[in-house]
Structure 1
């Protein structure tokens, strides 16, 4: 068999022989197999037990560049000199169908493979492989996983921040209780409150209605049923409020999509409760705020404790006023005399292992130590001569190094200092990821199929993709950084505002130069004729949109351009064709009108002819027939007269039926009477003509008047018949 490549091709060894009764010749069966082979959108090959290729489909031949029948599969497919370590031939030749996926070391693409054993006509087995490229599917799965990982990380970071603040609050109250003997009586009450503290969470709609409450919130407000979606400021306050609370952070979040925090004064019976609320936005895919999450701490006791210990010891106040996260008190000899719980967490050491036993120098990594020792000494001489905050590398118990911001302050009246450390490792990583994201977005724009470019708020080009280079003939290196409408030159041959500028600043003078424009919010769509573009005169469809930062400030604009010259030509051809069809349609309508007029005249002529024939017969034939009937005739002659009358009636009956149809279904006898009345005959004359009594004629006259609707009306029957028949 000769394939499309012109080479002699043998039938695949795994091909099934023609079954009896199918009615297909070997050539037809082979043609059907060939069609099935071509319809498969991947690669197919069959190999023997000793790895030699027995068959390759057209796509695989095109992929490898040759028909490698008889060669080793591992050499043809993977350019290896030995059997692939991942080969599953043993399983397939044991009779198993194997489905698996692999990333090819040759082109680094992912493939889905189905290997099945195929029995040949001689009883031997071969391995058939069906291979499909699934690289795009794998990349999509990877992108989704990365997005999920980023979301989970953000949730973990936010949860850690809240837990850190709660632990700091717990430690602060506990230490202050121990420091103030005057508050010993209330210490147990405060400790009980802190040990059982929880975080309340509620979901609030843009209409300020409660959508969800967690267990802690339901504990605080057992009477609220979130299923009823009550208004929050009515049910959270006792007595209820009809207007939104003035301190509410949630209304600000719903308005600007930012995180807000406040401490409330919520009426509760005869008193007031204080809640610290952190409100975060819930955004949809388009960045619109759809709800707000409130994270609520009951800080009533904390507020009261702050008021009670407002005049406590200066050292205690300085420590916790300057604490950011992990906090330590350092003696002049660098010994750490006190640490908080967050320091325990970050360092990996307990308080007992650190306080009075370790120096802060043990936690500083690398060459940061020399400068910090200098700061430590100078701070005790002149605190203003050294920085208060700086970044260092912090090493914990396990040897892990993190980036932290250290804030140091001297405790008034002592030689001691208090230092707080904020872990900024995540921020550093986020900054790096942001840079990677910017590089990724630049690559995405560069490979967009439509010609696309971006300008900043000052009108300078910051992106000019490959499609734009192909369209204009201007390399990105020559356009990036240019302003003053330089990007308009390839299109119009002059510097002037174009669609991207009009999206930022509408100008009716220049919008009027476009074939059409349509503004859809911040997006401007337009079509334009480009006379000066490389390659000749063209029509283009452009879409320009304003770019904003997370705060809503305008930072630039982006425009994508698509060549629609061919589409416009097709539309023009279609318009001309429609005009031709419309012209032909009008001609057909005129012809139809003329035909209808002709048909109407024909029907009128036909009716007139029928009535004329009927009238002539009745005037010129029927009277003489009646005279013959009344004359002295022999029986034979009378019989001929009757036959002549019957035949005459048969000849006239179609005309009489048409006449009756036009006139209320009159009977044949009534039609005869009506016709004679139209001729001016009296009832007696009609009776003589029809051979009936005058009373019978009067009876028919009455029926005719009834059917014509002129019974009991002052209307002459003959005149009416003349006007209608």
Structure 2
């Protein structure tokens, strides 16, 4: 019994170790992996998968792997493959397709699917591994567009192009030359020898010229004639170059064919065409270069030479012997690029580069490996964009924003100071006004009141009363309220209202203003009406004091 228990324990231990290994591989495989049950429900998903589709495990567990994460263009095909896999018609499949993340963005992934079945062949689970190929897809699409542009340029160039095999068989011919000759591509490519297109009396001259081409590598300004499909003769001017393999064996020719009947026009087209092909690399608007794995420059275009501050590409190639130390401001940057290229086809990076005069240029580089047929790296090819001004502008903008924030803060402080000063001035003005009014009321009006009680002539009394009334207009806030446009009291009504407020009777007011008492009574009624006191009970003097 003890032996059996020991055997079971050993078996359990043997099972735990593979399970741990499987889990470690599952979580750290470096690709998105998901394990589904036979019904397509999620059993497990590693962190790479969750990051790839942008969902959390809580949102996925115990749910089927729906087609929502697949681009609609691939749903039908994916469902078909999965059904084939479930039925056992296929063990698994590999396919590339677009996935839709939770946030709506798209990712290009390489899908590998495999089934796990028991000994009776019943489906237990499905393992799906997805490798993120988004960046590679972008690069491939870019290269595809570039290749299509080159192909369009080749096929629709203003001159004819063709390539010949070693025996003269036509390997390639662009649409332009085919249209000149009146043949279709199927009639010519791989089926016709070039001697089939030239007059019989020119065959010997062609063979001699073709032999020289294969030996010397190029032939220029070869005048000849071609026979169109309808029998017409086309006068042409041909320039050819030979292409060799790495061992120097002839592979094919590259020939440009010009309609010699319009030579002047063709000469211009030739110059443009040659400039396009000869300067496609050298005169690109962005920096381009090729260099060996150990840092030696093989080729550099004019744009990149100018970026680095050199007068010509020849000067760069003669001076720069080690790009890591002479071009890269930090040699470690090149080491990082090489290390990254071991894992990716393309590397994108922003690095500082050293110019000829020692100044620094910030470059945005795209680097790739150019691989030989045997898989070895032939050289590295790079595209560099000078983003120094953009970086400087960004830094200047950040500095400007910082300065503006400081100025704004200073303005806020100045504004606060001005508000304090204005408030202080307003308080001082109010205090001055109060002192002014208080001085009139305490230091002037009492003496006028005493003077009125002294024996005065009638005209003196009138002048005194007028002066008192004007001082009352100036000094009394109550009088200022009464003279407002809202109340619309006349000057006489203001004088009477001020005297009523002080407790003067109509008779006393009449004597002070040298008017009849009934006139004063009339004005008193007007005051009550204008102040809205007509229907209110109480003495006018009390109502005026409460109004003030």
TM (norm. structure 1) is 0.32
- Answer 1 or 2: higher relative contact order, Cα 8 Å, separation at least 6: 2
- Higher normalized helix content (fraction of residues): 2
